[in-house]
Structures are given as structure tokens and as C-alpha cells.
Chains A and B, each alone.
Chain A
Amino acid sequence: MLSSIRTVWLVFLHMFKKRVTIEYPEKKAYLAPRWRGRIVLTRDPDHNERCVACYLCAAVCPTDCISLQATEDENGRRKPEYFRINFSRCIFCGLCEDACPTYSIQLVPDFEMGEYKRQDLVYEKEDLLIDGQGKYHGYNFYRVAGVAVGVKGKGEGENESAPVDRKKLVP
């Protein structure tokens, strides 16, 4: 009996407390930098596409929503011919980001992707590609990789020694 009255009183006191509601369209909740939202494709510091079309993201995707086709440019640098994510299937699990060897595919803190037509949720490469480097700055895969695809010559990469002349490597 008394505890009921106390309950009523305590509930009444909630009147003077701060509201917990965040009035969404006007005010927005804080999203952490690693919040898993819209998927983007980033560029390296030289402003080239980071994606090397290795298919690892498409392979790991649990809902099979990533679709891409690899191609090579005139220097032999791999890149996706097309890169398509169907956001109506995407569950924003972030496994593609984990799988990506070049920090290319990244999830960013943005969730306002509502569309009136389902087809509009299919993002092409132009929609996904952003100008910046995303969350990982300064990383350039072809500067640390061994292959020479026009970014650097053979043996000129970071922490890379000059190529061995195999004709002088005889015992």
C-alpha cells in the first residue's frame, strides 16, 4: 500500500527530469566513428581507387549483396569494372570491411538512406566511391605491394629492398 503511493510519487517526480528523447530530424544522436552504416569505397592518398577487386568482400558477405567484376588498366593495376552493393539486402555487419586487404571498403556513420523505390537502394560504383581516404589515412596498397603497376618501380616501395639480379645469384 505505502509502496504503491511511493511509486506514484516517484513517477510524478519524473516530470521534472530531463527528457531522454532526441528529437530526431532536428537533433541527431551521436554516432561513433566506427559506427556501422552506409558502405563507401575509399581512395588512396594519390587519389586512385583503393579497391583491387579481390572479391574477398563479396565472398565474405553473408547476404550476398556485393557484386563486382575485376579488370585491369593498361599498367596491370587491378580495379573493379563495376562494383554494386544492394543495400536492400545489406545487414551492415561490417564483415566486408574486415575482409578488405586494402582498407578500400569501409562502413561510415550514416544511416539516412531511405528511398521510395527499392531499386534506388542498389548503389553503383559511382555512388559508393568517395573522394577521401575514409577512416585509414596514408595507406596506399601499391606502395607496399611488390608488384609494379605504375605507382612505383620494382623495389622502390616502403621497406622493400631492390630486386635481386638472379644472374649473379649463382653459388
Chain B
Amino acid sequence: MSETWIHILIIVCVLLGMVTIAAGLIYVERRMLAVWQERYGPNRVGPFGIFQVMADMVKIFFKEDWIPGFVDRKVFIVAPTIIMITTLLSFAIVPFAPGIVVANLNVGILFFLAMSSLGAYTIVLAGWASNNKYSLIGGLRGAAQMISYEVFMGLSLMGVVILAGSFNMTDIVMAQKGMWNVVPQFIGFVIFFIAGLAETHRLPFDIPEAESELIAGFHSEYSGMKFGMFFVGEYLGITLVSAMTTVLFFGGWLGPSFLPPIVWFLIKMFAFILVFVLLRASLPRPRYDQLMSWGWKILLPLALLNLLVTGAIVLYNQ
């Protein structure tokens, strides 16, 4: 097989694998939430309820795809695709194992940040196009939340970049051979994870959706597979942030050699996905202004300080 075919194979595998994992997370999340609430969760369809995913997918595909008459039709249709596209594009730079990476960009992290910033459009456009007060409020909140958390998400990653001396994801993983970045960059890790949580607008930071206040926020008017795209996009976001945390702070595919590198990567990634679900199971949603002040007044200065100290130590050691 030629080089090109292997590359195409990798692309197809990453695409299908990530979409499958994201869909499977519906089951994982329901099951794990149940476990942490002393319930069983879906356990009827197939062994351990695993075919619940299929049932859910069949259901959502056959739902009526209703576009209300009062919406801005073109934008309404485009909005849910943006989150799928940007998140799937972000996976291009994630190195799953040595050699298994779609695009070994030398600006990998910047590409990831750019794509997750573009993801804000999905909320803004969906909220605006729905022509609904709740959707608009949701979109507004989502825009503010994603833009402000974007700032120190980038800043928290700069410590990693300084340590590795490169924006390239593979180089960053290789730089963690001696010690995972989580030890010297613990603050960076915590800030990145919180920002990632806000970036994927997952609970406890699901302020753009906030069922108890805004019905369903920016996707109130969506139904059928358009809603499904937001849904899968959110799970893709979780997978992406988990994968990025693994790569940037927990040594990516590195691990003892009794397991292949890709397995180490997946184990670490799923551990973070479970942390996402655990946080959803335990923490209440903060108020909107609390989220904002928490971000700008605590996390941003902390990220800057972290960057400053890391830079100073690296310079001192040279």
C-alpha cells in the first residue's frame, strides 16, 4: 500500500472512530450518571443495554425534521453543522499513536484553538436564527462564555508549549517522555480542563442551554437530526477535550510497553470522559455572572501567572 492510501485509511478511521465514540458516549453517559446516582441506567436493550445507542440513533433519525416558519432558514440549517465540522477538523491534529495522526501540523495547538473558537459560531448563529427569546439569550450567554474561556484556554496551553518548545502535538508528546506535563504544569492542566468544560458547554457550565431557565437555550427550536448534530457535536467536544488533555498533559500514547500505544491513549482519554460525566453528576450550575467573574478575575490572572513563572524558570535554566 502506498503512503497516500495509508493516509486516507487513517483519515477514515479517525472520522468513523470519533463519530462512533461520540455516539457511544450517549450510552456511557446515561449509564455512568445512573451509577453515580445509585441507579442502573439503560440495561434492557441488548447485553448491558449496549444497543440503547442504536435505539436512540434510530429514534432520532426518524424524528420529524421540523423547521419553524419564523426562523432564518439558511442560517438555521447551517448552524448545527458548524460544531460538527469544527470539532471533527480539530481531531486532525490529535496524535493517537506514533504515526497515527491525520495532519502533523507544526501549528497544531493553534489550529485546535482556532477550530474551537469557530465552534462559538454554532451557538451564536443557532441562537440568532431561531428567532426566539430563549434561544437568543442562550446564544448570547454562549458567545460570552466561549469567548472569555477561549482566552485563558489558550494561555493555559502556552506553558506546555514553552516546555516542549513547539506547537506540534507529536513534539509535545515526545517532550513528555521523562515526565508528564501534568506535574510541572498542574495549574495549566486545571485551567485547561475547566476551560474545556466551559468550551464544550457541558454541565456544570451548560449556561447556554440551562434547561431550568432557558428551555433548551440555543437549540430550543431544533428537532430531529439537526438537534442530533448539536447533541453529537457536544459529545465530540467532550472527546476532543479529553483527547487534548491526554496529549498535552498526560503524555498522549506514552505508557509502559505491555500495551500498545493506541490503547494507552484510549484508556487515558476515556478516563477524562468519565471525569466529564462525574462532574455533570455532582456539580450544580453556577450563575451566569459567577461564571464570568470566576473566569476573568481568577482563572485569567492564574493562567498569566502560570505562563510567567513557567517562562521564567525555563529561561533561568537555559
A residues neighboring B (CB under 8 Å): 4, 7-8, 10-12, 14-15, 17-21, 23
CB-based contact A18/B283 at 8 Å: no
With A8-B278, A8-B279, A8-B283 known as contacts, the answer to whether A23 contacts B40 (CB < 8 A) is: yes
Chain A binding site: helix, strand, loop or mixed by DSSP?
helix
**A10–B123 alpha-carbon span in the complex (Å):** 33
Q: Is the CB of B40 within 8 A of A7?
A: no
Complex contacts, A19 vs chain B, CB 8 Å = 38-40
Contact of A21 among B36, B40, B283 (CB under 8 A): B40
Report the separation of the CA atoms of residues A7 and B36 in the bound assembly, to the nearest whole angstrom.
12
**B278–A12 touching, CB < 8 Å:** yes
How many residues of B are counted as interface, with CB atoms below 8 angstroms from the partner's CB atoms? 11
Q: 8 tightest A-B contacts by CB?
A: A11-B282, A8-B282, A20-B38, A7-B282, A21-B40, A21-B39, A14-B36, A11-B36
Cβ of B35 under 8 Å from chain A: yes
Name the CB-closest residue of B to A8. Answer: B282
Q: List 5 A-B contacts (CB under 8 A).
A: A8-B278, A11-B36, A11-B282, A14-B36, A19-B38
How far in angstroms is the closest Cβ of chain B from A5? 10
Which positions in B face A, CB cutoff 8 Å?
Answer: 35-40, 278-279, 281-283
Q: Contact between A4 and B283 (Cβ–Cβ < 8 Å)?
A: yes
Contact across chains for A12 and B283 when beta carbons are under 8 A apart: no
In the complex, the answer to whether B38 meets A14 with C-beta atoms within 8 Å is: yes
Residues of B within 8 A of A21 (CB): 38-40
Per DSSP, chain B at the interface is helix
Q: What is the CB-to-nearest-CB distance from A98 to chain B, in angstroms, rounded to a whole number?
A: 37
Please name the residue on chain A nearest to B281 by beta carbon: A11
Beta-carbon nearest neighbor of A6 in chain B: B282
A23 to B278, CA, bound (A): 24
Chain A hits for B36, CB < 8 A? 11-12, 14-15
Query: How far is it, in angstroms, between the C-alpha of A67 and the C-alpha of B36 when the chains are bound?
Result: 50
Query: Which residues of A lie under 8 Å from residue B281 when comparing CB positions?
Result: 11
Q: Determine the residue in chain A with the shortest Cβ distance to B279.
A: A8
Q: How far is the CA of A14 from the CA of B37 in the complex (A)?
A: 7
- Contact check, A7 vs B283: say whether CB atoms are below 8 A apart: yes
Most chain B CB within a 10 A radius of its CB, from A8, A10, A20: A8
Query: Is B38's CB under 8 angstroms from A17's CB?
Result: yes
With known contacts A4-B283, A7-B283, A8-B283, A18–B38 Cβ distance under 8 A: yes
Point out the residues of chain A lying under 8 angstroms from B279, CB to CB.
8
Tell me, in angstroms, the Cα distance from A15 to B279 when the chains sit together: 14
For residue B282, which residues in chain A have a CB less than 8 angstroms away from its CB? Answer: 7-8, 10-12
| Chain B nearest Cβ from A12, distance in angstroms | 6
CB distance from B291 to the nearest CB of A (A): 14
What's the Cα separation between A17 and B278 when bound, in Å?
16
Contact B35 A15 (CB under 8 A): yes
Please name the residue on chain A nearest to B37 by beta carbon: A14
In the docked arrangement, what's the CA distance between A21 and B37, Å?
Answer: 10
Bound: A149/B38 CA distance, A: 60
Chain B residues with Cβ under 8 A from A15's Cβ? 35-36
B38's nearest neighbour on chain A, judged by CB, is A20
The CA of A139 and the CA of B279, in the complex, are separated in Å by 61
